[in-house]
Amino acid sequence: MKLALAAGGTGGHMFPAQSLAEEAKARGWSVLLLTDARGKRYTDGFPADHMVELQAASPSARGLLAKAKAAVALLGGIQKASGALKHFEADAVIGFGGYPSAPAMLAAQRRGIPTGIHEQNAVLGRANRLAVGKAGFLAHGFPVLDRSPSGVQIVEVGNPVRQAVHDATMAAYASPESGPLKVLVFGGSQGASLFARIFAPAMAALPAHLRQRLLVTHQVGEDDHEAAAAIYAEAGIEAELAPFFKDLPARIAGSHLVIARSGASSVSELSVIGRPSVLVPLKIAMDDHQRMNAEVLTEAGAAERILEDDLTVESATATLTSLLSEPQRLTAMAEAAKGRMAAGAASTLADLTEKLVAGDLSR
């Protein structure tokens, strides 16, 4: 089989696509990745035989000029994607959302190539909404999917995660009754600066008996590195700071508490690995989907949620003090996180793709 994958923009779209690509290669399929310049940042280790970069723009651009530019980018993307799919002789195209997914999916549907969609978030994304009407199936990661349409086969499969995440499940959660308290902080591209300004001083303000045990791993952008490092050093907290960690799944597994945004990949990986968390949904996330993503873990008692409007050094300090003072609670949260989302998503999605190509899907 020749499978084309359309995804881009962020790791939240790219990592599930990579997981399906890994499953596809294990089944002996050829893989074409259609993405954009932003998506290419996440292609280290992506097992694609071919990769094509598309122009992309937000399908919900505002203003006449922005709409005109978006239309030009979309048409250009459709044309380039159409040529790439013809050359590759794709049997199916699976879209994972993100701006470049839209032109790739529309090009496939114009060429009569079977398409399927995977939605990682608890709300159907806008790029996916453009293509869902002619898709053979709509697979989704979260137990609930808001704004799901009628007339298309909808299947809960969970979110595909990379092999590195599956590998990290081998590490059992070690209750922090004594010894170091390992805290991992990562906010992604739209949270790193905020998290540096809030959580570094929040941890510095913890009671001495907790602060002295901290081992912090913190994703910090270059602009905030010096200030955050100074705060940790002055508070006597051992901290490893970097703008990006390639081995993030292993670091999640090695943590007693994770502080993160509630993007689909983060929530999925916390569920698969099974770790307690403090989640701060991105306030400007499209359709407020990160708040809904977080509910999967908060309602299970696996996470604490702090909305951005409520996030201060004081509120963060209070939450961290409460959690880190109760090792038994952290252990219970880790157990509650495990398995909150459907497992085996990549294999299930590959099976759906085979049925799609064979024409065995029922609508």
Residue 187, in any domain of the structure: yes
Residue 24, in any domain of the structure: yes
Pairing verdict, β 214-219 and 137-140: unpaired
State how many domains the chain has: 2
**59 φ, ψ to 5°?**
-75, -5
Residue 268, in any domain of the structure: yes
* Higher pLDDT pick, 192 / 176: 176
Q: CA separation (Å) from 208 to 185, 199, 246, 314?
A: 20, 16, 32, 16
| 310 and 216 co-located in one domain | yes
Determine the pLDDT at residue 93.
98
Q: Are 354 and 170 in contact (CB under 8 A)?
A: no
| 136 and 233 co-located in one domain | no
Does residue 59 have a pLDDT over 70? no
Does residue 362 have a pLDDT over 70? no
| 90 and 188 co-located in one domain | no
| 182 and 306 co-located in one domain | yes
| 204 and 129 co-located in one domain | no
The Cα–Cα gap between 28 and 31 comes to 10
| 180 and 258 co-located in one domain | yes
Q: CA separation (Å) from 216 to 71, 200, 256, 265?
A: 45, 9, 10, 21
The Cα–Cα gap between 17 and 160 comes to 8
Mean pLDDT of the chain: 93
The Cα–Cα gap between 305 and 76 comes to 41
pLDDT in tens, 76-102: 999 999 999 999 999 999 999 998 999
The Cα–Cα gap between 56 and 185 comes to 31
Residue 126, in any domain of the structure: yes
For residue 310, the one-letter residue type is D
| 128 and 197 co-located in one domain | no
| Cα angle 253, 171, 195; round to 5 | 5
The Cα–Cα gap between 233 and 151 comes to 58
Residue 233, in any domain of the structure: yes
Listed in sequence order, the residues at least 6 apart from 275 whose beta carbon sits closer than 8 Å to its beta carbon are 173, 252, 253, 255, 257, 258, 334, 337
The Cα–Cα gap between 96 and 221 comes to 27
Residue 180 CB coordination number (10 Å)? 12
The Cα–Cα gap between 117 and 121 comes to 12
| 254 and 170 co-located in one domain | yes
Residue 253, in any domain of the structure: yes
The Cα–Cα gap between 156 and 166 comes to 19
| 32 and 127 co-located in one domain | yes
Q: What is the CATH number of the domain that holds 130?
A: 3.40.50.2000
User: In terms of C-beta density within 10 A (0-12 exposed, 13-18 middle, 19 or more buried), how is residue 282 classed?
Assistant: buried
The Cα–Cα gap between 143 and 343 comes to 12
Determine the pLDDT at residue 336.
97
Distance separating the N- and C-terminal Cα atoms of the chain? 22
Determine the pLDDT at residue 128.
94
Determine the pLDDT at residue 343.
83
- Percentage above 70 pLDDT, the chain: 97
| 301 and 180 co-located in one domain | yes
| 77 and 199 co-located in one domain | no
In DSSP notation, 5-43 reads: EE--SSHHHHHHHHHHHHHHHHTT-EEEEEE-TTGGGG-
| 137 and 220 co-located in one domain | no
Domain that holds residue 308: 166-337
- 311: which DSSP letter? -
Residue 363, in any domain of the structure: no
Determine the pLDDT at residue 65.
77
